[in-house]
Structure 1
Amino acid sequence: MNQKLTLRALSVMLLCLVMNNTLATDTAKRFAAHMDFLASDLLRGRDTGSPGHEVAAQYIATEFAKMGIVPAGDDGTYLQRIEFKSTLLDLTSPEFSYTDGDDVTQLEFLTEFTVGANINRTSSAVTGELVFAGFGIDAPFLEYSDFEGIDLTGKIAVVLSGRPQHFPSEEGAHYSRKGTQALVDRGAVGIITVVTPVSERIFPFSRAKEYISKPRIRWVNESGVVQNGYPEIQGSAGLSMAAAKELFSRAGMDLQAIYEQIENGQQPAGQNMGITATISYQSTHSSVTSPNVVGVLEGADPVLKNEYVLLSAHTDHIGVAEHIELGDKINNGAMDNAAGVSTLLEMAHQITQSDQRPRRSMLFAMVTAEEKGLLGSDYFAHNPTVPIDSIVANVNLDMPVLTNAFDQLIGFGAQHSSLWGVIERAVATENMKLIPDPMPEQGIFVRSDQYSFVKKGIPAVFLVTADKADMIFDEHEISSQEFMIEHYHKPSDQLDLPINYDVAAQFVAINRVIATEVANTDERPQWNQDSFFATIDQE
């Protein structure tokens, strides 16, 4: 009798192993098929509003329909159509000059200064006195303000890029993103941004030319008002480090000394600079539309099905690189973010094929215009197709680098809420480890689509793979760090990368476990009481 039971148990174990291996193999094949289409040259880099992106959106909607996921966009469709205002800079028009008396200094565009197209006006021109305002940050939660003792009314604010180094990562990035509004609230009519050694390392000034010919877009509401357009700012510019040092020197200020102050954790004092500057440039305006793709899988619990776990990934990339003179110009966005979309599609496939549906409903949102400033997710957060307070959590997938094996996941933002415990338990069942943000200085938690929902009070996590600590890479593998340096936002982020589709299947499986675990918990996730993000929607 015992021998029969043992043989039966062994048979069941072997059957489960075969089924799991078959599932992983099938997932890897489907994942590769999604990638082959979404990252193909046919889609021309899926730029927001482009025909290629429209094709990608329709592909995703068709996949949802095949799985039995119910439309949750506009008018009974999968698509939530967004109206955008687009603006393009006239590259021959930018001018920047300043005077400290009789001497006028004229700066060279793209070598010493850069500007961005103006979303509010076709002709931008501002002249004003310069006032140094530190980082231009007002952070009540951190008991910090750069505006003590200065008056910005009618002035051009000169601000440092980024935020103080002693700021906690996510909190600092949040307040840095609110900087323009803080300057508007204090009457500034123009902004000049100055690089710091930290910001120069993260994104060198010289790379500005890669984006200068791209349109800048913002979504507009039903009244035609531009969201976060800041019409009060009549003109703005960014300076190279060399040009900024010369400007400060002409004002009798030592920018290098200010750099040393912020390196030592000191707060530089704001002051009038005694210089008047003029910034001018021309922009052209147009309209463009682009869709989010939204669907729902109803939960199994008669009560909890009225709550939603939001699973998101962005569908857009940066299109065709006009600044590259020779060679491949198409930014296919294989890892960023065809891989995230493919992961979410395969998660949806596995969840819909399961015999046991999650208790809460799953809300799938494939959002547009992430590369333009998290615009698609921001629009959805302001115009949700389900009640916003019924969304209990957001699990976001953006640019998983699936080129080599991993044994741990980075849970950006998870430590701020009860999601940490739920996800930690889930990954442990897959013999994985959940680790906190290993690069807090980059503020990644507020740089992808989950941030749009965090600002609405929704606990969120952004999950990516972490390389094995003891891994030795061979010639057919690349690390996540190498990808960021060599391939991020470049035409080389394409299908000839050494994508490991077995690893992709593993990433799908563990994310499905995480999403299902969140959907099945009795209590909805909560922010930790001591977390900054527990107060963010109340500020």
Structure 2
Amino acid sequence: MYVNAQKKNDRKTIGNLQLHITYLSSDKLEGRRTGAPGEQLAAAYISTQMQQIGLSPKGDDGFVQTFIVKESREPATACTMTINEDHLLAGSQFIPLPFSAVKSAKGEVIPNVNEPDNIWLINAKEMDTDTHKSMLEQYLQQTQVAAKSGATGVIFYNGKEAPAAVLQWLEQNPPATSIPAVWVNNDVSKKLSADDANGFQINMQVAFKPIKRTGTNVIGYIDNKAPKTIIIGAHYDHLGFGEDKNSTAKVLYHGADDNASGTAALLEIARMLKASHLHNNNFVIIAFSGKQQGLYGSKYFASHSTVDLTQVNYMINLDHIGRLDQAYGLQIGGIGTSPGWAAIIQQAATKETHLVYDSSGVGPSDHTSFYRKNIPVLYFFTGIDSDSLQSDDSADKINYEGTLSVVKLVYDIVDKTNEMNKLAFTSTREPLNTGSTTLSGKMMNK
């Protein structure tokens, strides 16, 4: 009777995992890039699921908590440039440099002749480069020299940078120069350096528009009126169309394993906990965004928590848990962050799952933000396949039975700690992945 009921529950959990992962990694969500419309669709989906499970909202505004990922600039509509009769496209054919003055400049420019009171053309290939300085610093230095020599503007051509890299420079705030300065791409560079070029009528206007990129954490709560709280989290953002990878190719990154798998498991664990008898801890269920940009969401929550962090018992993080392979094993990081973890996990683990332990509380995922607050952490991870950071990280490649086993293990760990006192915190070595020990039901080596 119990076995049949358990199988029925497992089938329901697997069905829910498939439902969540399929939606979150669908084309509709466009890769869930932080701050993009697809991220907002994902946040709305997660909020709805939390509400249906019966979680209470624990964000700053309902279930959501917003945070700034970065403040930057982009070429404004008024940012224009023409060469002879050709109107160039701002942001791709030409990009104003971050130190550029917000001014206009025009003139009849002759190649290889840089005169006072005119726009200068500077060939990046012929610059005396300084290996101790970045190209942005060297462009700034050249512009300062040109301004002192009477140039009214500067155009850098034949640079090796991709447009995406130059656009990222707009996130920086170097000292401003007194003249406008722009970078042009390869196609425009070929025109400016053509052997038969006699002269160019150039008209340029630099203008910037400030932009603010925000991310959204989604936070639910199970209030058991308990003195201790457990945080369980997973990031739901992914790479979008690869905009943050400095690539000009527009490729959709679906992110089924990274990290729709962890998000789906998070929701199913929340559903199980809401229906459980485990009432000696409260539970914060949090889906982070901004992980791909540097753990922005978890860092923000850890510094602007909607619960008292001094009462937090421990934090569990689920990231890349959809490709369980017994040969590789289930990686569990953070074992050394509490002296109680080893015994707890041994009690909860099954012989069917090959476990690989690492003691460090620091790693490339959101548990690090809580370890930095002296909170014991665990980090669950099934490894990165060759395609799990590529565009074909799709829902059909997920090991759903394996993901279910991770869900059940996390639940069992929570179960084992239900009657225990608040776990003690211990600091661990850094960095991650040095001295880890592979185990199958054996005590790990701290």
TM class, shorter-length: 0.5 to 0.7
Q: CA deviation at 1:381?
A: 0.5
1:83 corresponds to 2:68: yes
Q: CA deviation at 1:514?
A: 1.7
User: Is the CA contact (8 Å cut-off) linking 1:404 and 1:499 kept in structure 2?
Assistant: no
Q: CA deviation at 1:64?
A: 0.8
Which of 211, 214, 220 aligns to 1:289? It is 214
Q: CA deviation at 1:69?
A: 0.8
Pairing 1:121-520 to 2, within 5 Å after superposition: 125=140, 212=165, 285-299=210-224, 305-321=226-242, 329-354=251-276, 356-402=277-323, 404-405=325-326, 408-429=329-350, 431-432=352-353, 434-437=355-358, 445-465=362-382, 480=383, 483=385, 486-496=386-396, 498-518=397-417, 520=418
- 1:345/1:126 Cα in 2 relative to 1: closer, same or farther (>3 Å)? farther
Normalising to structure 1: TM-score of the pair? 0.55
Q: CA deviation at 1:508?
A: 1.3
Q: Residue 106 of structure 1 aligns with which residue? A: 129
User: Is the CA contact (8 Å cut-off) linking 1:332 and 1:494 kept in structure 2?
Assistant: yes
User: Is the CA contact (8 Å cut-off) linking 2:361 and 2:377 kept in structure 1?
Assistant: no
Separation in structure 2 between the aligned mates of residue 217 and residue 310 of structure 1, nearest angstrom: 36
What CA deviation, in whole Å up to 9, does each residue of 1:317-350 have, x standing for no partner?
1111356677x71111111100000011111112
Amino acid at match of 1:292: N
- 1:115/1:457 Cα in 2 relative to 1: closer, same or farther (>3 Å)? farther
Separation in structure 2 between the aligned mates of residue 384 and residue 417 of structure 1, nearest angstrom: 22
Separation in structure 1 between the aligned mates of residue 343 and residue 416 of structure 2, nearest angstrom: 7
User: Is the CA contact (8 Å cut-off) linking 1:88 and 1:213 kept in structure 2?
Assistant: no
Q: CA deviation at 1:81?
A: 2.0
- 1:321/1:428 Cα in 2 relative to 1: closer, same or farther (>3 Å)? closer
- 1:125/1:217 Cα in 2 relative to 1: closer, same or farther (>3 Å)? closer
Separation in structure 1 between the aligned mates of residue 15 and residue 380 of structure 2, nearest angstrom: 22
Separation in structure 1 between the aligned mates of residue 44 and residue 307 of structure 2, nearest angstrom: 21
Q: CA deviation at 1:107?
A: 7.1
1:47 corresponds to 2:47: no
Amino acid at match of 2:392: S
Amino acid at match of 1:456: K
Pairing 1:19-30 to 2, within 5 Å after superposition: 19-30=5-16
Partner SS for 2:290:
coil
Q: CA deviation at 1:512?
A: 1.4
Farther off after superposition, 312-321 or 287-296 = 287-296
User: Is the CA contact (8 Å cut-off) linking 1:374 and 1:452 kept in structure 2?
Assistant: yes
Separation in structure 1 between the aligned mates of residue 166 and residue 25 of structure 2, nearest angstrom: 23
Q: Superposition RMSD on alpha carbons, in Å?
A: 3.8
Separation in structure 1 between the aligned mates of residue 412 and residue 169 of structure 2, nearest angstrom: 38
Separation in structure 1 between the aligned mates of residue 387 and residue 164 of structure 2, nearest angstrom: 16
Partner SS for 2:420:
coil
Separation in structure 1 between the aligned mates of residue 280 and residue 170 of structure 2, nearest angstrom: 38
Q: CA deviation at 1:506?
A: 1.7
Amino acid at match of 1:58: A
Amino acid at match of 2:424: Q
User: Is the CA contact (8 Å cut-off) linking 2:67 and 2:216 kept in structure 1?
Assistant: yes
What CA deviation, in whole Å up to 9, does each residue of 1:221-254 have, x standing for no partner?
xxxxxxxx9x8x879xxxxxxxxxxxxxxxxxxx
Between the two proteins, what is the percent identity of the paired residues?
Answer: 25
Amino acid at match of 2:389: H
Amino acid at match of 2:46: I
Count the aligned residue pairs: 335
What CA deviation, in whole Å up to 9, does each residue of 1:483-513 have, x standing for no partner?
1xx22432121224x3222222222111211
Q: Which has the larger radius of gyration?
A: 2
